[in-house]
């Protein structure tokens, strides 16, 4: 019996038992579709977290101050102290001290009310240096960022985030207009391109001014203290070296040891690992639950094949009496089981692709279906069919021709 004859016989057997075969295929379809969608949701969540963290900047390191302790002994949270200064930023910018750091952007932040065109809006006002756009990987939608010379001369200039600009000026381009921060008028010289919300909040709702102007006009109480220092490594491979250089430089500058450091340095890698570990665990958990339906589908294939063997005992006996070998009988029933599994897997794959196209709009959550996952799904469905068909096929192959022909 050739392979083409075996395939034709298997298809005819499946068509003869349409309803039973359809229900079996449905079990595998649901299982494959559920696994693909749950894994796709997990991968989509991981990618979304990675994309949001990438918006913070490229090869970014974040230096934060340590915690404060009040006179009564109450300890504040991390970042509550004022242990970072502009001198620290200058030290880290020295290529002899930290050769793997390519950019330094010290940042001080306060909330203030901005007024323009008879309306007002309260937002975060950031005081920083001219390197901030490069370190934070930000671009401008219109206008420009302030220069080093304007930083040194403490110009009253401001660059608005997209949300802040819209709240104050609507659809108008605010470049060249005046904005009052507190009681000080500022000239709008640029509008940042929108990046949306990240793990740090709405990155479009802010106003950026020169750090010198921030210290003199926006928040005079700040003095030389810095809220956060953003560092950009030369590249991804030098991120670890930049981390060590920044840590050692600040330990030396502050005269402290690692055990009592009054600052902390975090990297994107650690943030990504922490965020994705949770989504990865949830993905495995949900995928495991969905895999149970695959097991049910496999049991369904085995069940229909066992019933098929029982119903076709006389047919098997007749084939053996006409010269069919146990290997041919085994191959026939394994082909039937494989076709059921492969059909269910293909339909489940189509269901997963359709779900990946529809669910993001309904759940506001991306669903990622990779080519590797699609191939794996088809492979698993075929494997289920083969494994589930082994026992019924071997049982059919072992039947004695005489006993099979005697069966009623």
Give the residue extent of every domain in the chain: 3-52+274-406, 82-261
Helix (H) or strand (E) run with residue 229 in it: strand 228-233
Q: pLDDT tens digit string along 47-82?
A: 776 666 666 655 888 898 876 444 344 344 444 456
pLDDT confidence of residue 77 = 43
Helix (H, G, I), strand (E, B) or coil at 57: coil
Q: pLDDT tens digit string along 237-296?
A: 888 899 999 999 999 998 888 888 888 888 766 666 666 676 677 777 777 776 777 777
β-pairing, 206-210 vs 263-267, is: unpaired
Q: pLDDT band for position 168 (50/70/90)? A: very high
**Angstrom distances, CA of residue 355 to CA of 206, 238, 347, 363:** 37, 41, 12, 11
- The mean per-residue pLDDT over the stretch 326-334 comes to 80
pTM score: 0.61
pLDDT confidence of residue 50 = 66
* Torsion sign (Cα): 279, 285, 287, 290: negative
> What one-character-per-residue DSSP string does 161-207 give?
-HHHHHHHHTTS--TT-EEEETTEEEEEEEEEPP--EETTEETTSEE
Q: Are 298 and 388 in contact (CB under 8 A)?
A: yes
Torsional class of 156: left (φ above 0), alpha (ψ -120 to 50), beta (otherwise): beta
């Amino acid at each position: 019996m050739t392979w083409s004859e075996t395939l034709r016989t298997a298809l005819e057997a499946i068509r003869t038992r349409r309803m039973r075969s359809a229900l079996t295929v449905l079990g595998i379809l649901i299982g494959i579709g559920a696994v693909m969608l749950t894994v796709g949701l997990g991968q989509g969540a991981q990618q979304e977290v990675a994309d949001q963290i990438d918006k913070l900047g490229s090869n970014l390191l974040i230096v934060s101050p340590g915690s404060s302790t009040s006179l009564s002994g109450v300890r504040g949270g991390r970042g509550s102290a004022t242990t970072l200064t502009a001198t620290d930023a200058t030290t880290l910018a020295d290529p002899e001290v930290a050769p793997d750091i390519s950019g330094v952007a010290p940042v001080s932040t306060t909330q203030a009310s901005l007024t323009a065109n008879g309306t007002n809006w309260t937002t975060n006002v950031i005081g920083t240096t001219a390197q901030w756009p490069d370190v934070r990987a930000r671009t401008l939608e219109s206008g420009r960022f302030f220069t080093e010379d304007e930083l040194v001369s403490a110009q009253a200039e401001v660059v608005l985030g997209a949300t802040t600009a819209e709240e104050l000026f609507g659809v108008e381009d605010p470049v060249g207009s005046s904005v009052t921060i507190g009681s000080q008028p500022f000239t709008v010289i640029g509008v940042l391109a929108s990046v949306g919300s990240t793990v740090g909040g709405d990155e479009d709702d802010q106003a950026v001014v020169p750090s010198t102007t921030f210290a003199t006009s926006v928040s005079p109480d700040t003095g030389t203290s810095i809220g956060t220092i953003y560092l950009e490594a030369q590249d991804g491979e030098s991120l670890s070296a930049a981390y060590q250089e920044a840590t050692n430089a600040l330990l030396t500058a502050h005269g402290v040891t690692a055990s009592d450091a009054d600052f902390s340095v975090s990297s994107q890698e650690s943030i990504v690992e922490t965020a994705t570990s949770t989504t990865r665990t949830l993905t495995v958990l949900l995928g495991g639950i969905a895999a149970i339906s695959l097991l049910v589908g496999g049991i369904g294939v085995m069940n229909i094949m066992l019933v098929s063997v029982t119903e076709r005992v006389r047919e098997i006996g007749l084939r053996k009496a006409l010269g069919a070998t146990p290997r041919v009988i085994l191959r026939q029933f394994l082909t039937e089981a494989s076709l059921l599994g492969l059909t269910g897997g293909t339909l489940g794959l189509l269901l997963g692709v359709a779900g990946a196209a529809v669910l993001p709009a309904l759940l506001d959550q991306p669903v990622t279906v990779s080519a590797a996952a699609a191939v794996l799904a088809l492979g698993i469905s075929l494997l289920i069919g083969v494994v589930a068909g082994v026992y019924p096929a071997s049982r059919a192959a072992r039947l004695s021709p005489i006993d099979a022909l005697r069966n009623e």
